Amino acid sequence: MLKTITLTRDSVALTDDIDALHTLDIKIDEDWKIDKIINYIISLDYLPIIQKRKTTWSMNIKDNPVAILSQKNFHKPLMICHADYPFQKTVYFVQIDHIHFKYHAQRKPKLVLKDFKL
Supply the pTM of this predicted model.
0.89
Local structure of residue 32 (DSSP, 8 states):
-
Beta strands in 1-118 (DSSP E): 2-9, 23-29, 56-61, 64-70, 78-79, 98-103
Domain encompassing residue 22: 2-116
Q: pLDDT of the chain along its 118 residues, tens only?
A: 899 999 999 888 766 666 666 899 999 998 999 999 999 999 998 888 777 768 899 999 999 999 999 988 888 889 988 888 998 888 888 899 999 999 998 899 999 998 886 5
Distance CA 34, CA 107 (A): 23
Task: Please give the backbone phi and psi of residue 61, each rounded to the nearest 5 degrees, phi first.
Answer: -125, 125
Burial 21-38 (b: 16+ CB within 10 A, else e): eeeeebeeeeebebeebb
CATH number for position 34: 3.10.20.90
Domain tally, the chain: 1
